[in-house]
Structure 1
Amino acid sequence: MAGRLRQPTGRYGGRTAEERQEERRRRFLDAGLQLFGSGPGYRSTTVAALSEAAGLSTRQFYEAFRGLEDVLAALHLQVNDWAERAALAALAEARDLPLAERAAALFRAYAANVTSDPRRIRITFVEIVGVSARLEEQRLARRARWVEFICGEAASAVARGEAAPRDYRLAATAFIGSVNGLLHDWNAGWVDATLDEVVEELVRQLLGILRPADWSADGAAGP
């Protein structure tokens, strides 16, 4: 029928409302990574400053997030997801290699990903700490996920006869703390070593945990 109005498509400039909203969210996260990770930091950033850095309005900010804590929470999860994907990809390629080479590939990929952008280290090791009970729960939950990751690889090594059979949860928890602390200190310039040397040290520590002095490959303990 002539003159009938067409139903709105929800598209503007070739993009849907959902696509525009996701783009705005990404711009806020990019601005958060910059301000929290290399600028004044989470505690000294305002919604107005973040919105200005993103080139958007505070009204648009509150359409995407409830507050700055949501931005920090999303960035913390994002940084961990990037590192986890890098570690899993490296491990998949090294799956058939001996334990020491698998561990080296894993930590090299993880360390390279986390340290590739100093803002990521600040977000996940510094800015997230002590913000709120909610973010502490999130931070510890992601650490527990890395502990499970190490425990899973330890179980795989035990099944191959490469490691001593035992409960690795406590050791993995301590080891993850060591990984985070060493990478943070290295990035801050407090550790005089190359990244390769840092990775080699982490591999030595892990192998020492998996292969104690009184253990042999045939499963028999020493005297």
Structure 2
Amino acid sequence: MKEQRTGRTPQRTYGGESPEERMVRRRASFIAAGRVLFSQIGYRKTTMRGLCAEAGLTDRYFYESFETIEDLLVAVYEELMGEMQGHIVAALQVAGPGRDADALIDIGLDAFFRQVEDTAAARVIWLEVLGVSPRVDQVYNHGIRGFAEFILVMSRTIAPHWPVSDEIARVVAMGMIGAASEAAKDWLMSGYQQPRAHLVQGIAMVFKGILLIAKASPPPAA
């Protein structure tokens, strides 16, 4: 049975911070500690003592935000995935609405693989979360599906008349994300032997090939 513990903090302002602000700061400190240790020594070797030492806090404060180290792993993974998607969106926004679809694919993939070059983040996203538990597997799959939905929205914007159902389109989007994700994992595990431009060019061929099919498809009958 999972042990549940909850820390208690004094309900008073201290050092200009409210109790809620202190809790948020301590939670962020443990997430930062998790990012360091999960990437350096791995989730399975990370201990409560190590996390507390890295965060500069006691386990009392760990338990006010998390029940288990697995909970912390989920929080770290979700934060990293959010950052990655945010960088891609930001790169596309900087590119502006006047760019053609091929250019946007190149820009988006370049932003994606730039994030993969962050070894610490990439190790957590593609290695440390795998096989931990059924629950973490579901969290991982949810993250991949989130990226697929993002690709689906972009694809529908570029080719709004592609005559396939949403269900089939989601399968295609999952395939596109799968190609990029597996290439990213292989790149990480090979020690980044290929230049980033090769990864962008190769996966862009997959994305652009699907885009060509979408553009060539006739619009649905009225």
In the aligned structure 2, how far is the partner of 1:158 from the partner of 1:58?
Answer: 52
> Could you say what secondary structure the match of 1:11 adopts?
coil
Aligned mate of 2:113, from 101, 111, 115: 111
Summarize the Cα distance change of 1:28–1:211 in structure 2 as closer, same or farther, 3 Å threshold: same
Q: Does the CA-based 8 Å contact 2:80-2:125 persist in structure 1? A: yes
Q: Which residue in 1 is equivalent to 2:4?
A: none
After superposing the two structures, state which structure 1 stretch, 188-197 or 133-142, moved more. Answer: 188-197
Q: Which residue in 1 is equivalent to 2:3?
A: none
Q: Deviations over 1:92-117 (max 9, x none)?
A: 233321110011111112221342x2
For 2:15, the aligned partner's letter is G
**Shift of the alpha carbon at 1:152?**
1.3
> Could you say what secondary structure the match of 1:96 adopts?
coil
The total of aligned residue pairs comes to 206
In the aligned structure 2, how far is the partner of 1:218 from the partner of 1:174?
Answer: 19
Q: Which residue in 2 is equivalent to 1:130?
A: 131
**Shift of the alpha carbon at 1:169?**
2.0
| Structure with larger RCO (C-alpha < 8 A, sep 6+) | 2
Are 1:26 and 2:28 matched, yes or no? yes
**Shift of the alpha carbon at 1:187?**
2.2
Are 1:145 and 2:146 matched, yes or no? yes
Instruction: Map residues 77-88 of structure 1 onto 2, 5 A cutoff.
Output: 77-88=78-89
Q: Which has the larger radius of gyration?
A: 1
After superposing the two structures, state which structure 1 stretch, 8-17 or 42-51, moved more. Answer: 8-17
For 1:21, the aligned partner's letter is M
**Shift of the alpha carbon at 1:218?**
8.4
Are 1:172 and 2:173 matched, yes or no? yes
Report the identity percentage: 29
Q: Which residue in 2 is equivalent to 1:46?
A: 47
Q: Deviations over 1:113-168 (max 9, x none)?
A: 342x2111111111111111211111111111111111111111113x8xx54343
> Could you say what secondary structure the match of 2:200 adopts?
helix
Q: Deviations over 1:11-55 (max 9, x none)?
A: 1112111121111111111111111012x2111111122111211
Structure 1 outlier segments of 4+, above 3 Å:
164-167, 215-220
After superposing the two structures, state which structure 1 stretch, 200-209 or 90-99, moved more. Answer: 90-99
Summarize the Cα distance change of 1:216–1:89 in structure 2 as closer, same or farther, 3 Å threshold: closer
Q: Which residue in 2 is equivalent to 1:3?
A: none
Q: State the TM-score, normalized to the length of structure 2.
A: 0.84
In the aligned structure 2, how far is the partner of 1:216 from the partner of 1:139?
Answer: 32
Q: Which residue in 1 is equivalent to 2:7?
A: none
Q: State the TM-score, normalized to the length of structure 1.
A: 0.84
Q: Does the CA-based 8 Å contact 2:126-2:185 persist in structure 1? A: yes
In the aligned structure 1, how far is the partner of 2:113 from the partner of 2:68?
Answer: 31
Q: Does the CA-based 8 Å contact 1:186-1:192 persist in structure 2? A: yes
Q: Does the CA-based 8 Å contact 2:11-2:19 persist in structure 1? A: no
Any unmatched runs of 5+ in structure 2? 1-9
Q: Does the CA-based 8 Å contact 1:79-1:114 persist in structure 2? A: no
Any unmatched runs of 5+ in structure 1? 1-7
Q: Which residue in 2 is equivalent to 1:5?
A: none
After superposing the two structures, state which structure 1 stretch, 140-149 or 188-197, moved more. Answer: 188-197
Are 1:37 and 2:39 matched, yes or no? yes
